[in-house]
Amino acid sequence: MNKAELIDAIAADAGISKAQAKTALDSVTNNVGSALAKGGKVSLVGFGTFSVSARGAREGRNPQTGATIKIAAKKVAKFKAGAELAGKL
């Protein structure tokens, strides 16, 4: 499912217009992103938890040349499925 299909599904389930569904989805994604950017986490009971994880610096290999390269440390977004979502899979 892509973003457009998700907007269509939200609009149909909630009985609202596609424009309203897009606004709601954009608000959710923006607020989750803002919370993660501040180093926080977002927990949606039954769905899952979004959090930030630190990934350390490491060495990698260029697949074309085989040369060793340094990969810098960075922060990455992480998602852990909640029990209700995990039960549906």
CATH architecture label of 40-89: Irregular (4.10)
Task: Provide the mean pLDDT of the chain.
Answer: 95
**Count H helices, E strands: the chain?**
3, 5
Q: pLDDT digits over 39-64, tens only? A: 999 999 999 999 999 999 999 999 99
Which letter does DSSP use for residue 41 in this model? -
Ranges of each domain in the chain: 1-38, 40-89
**Spatial separation of the C-alpha atoms in residues 50 and 33, rounded to whole Å:** 9
Tokens at 75, concatenated: 């922060």
Q: Please say if the pLDDT value at position 78 is more than 90.
A: yes
Q: Please say if the pLDDT value at position 33 is more than 90.
A: yes
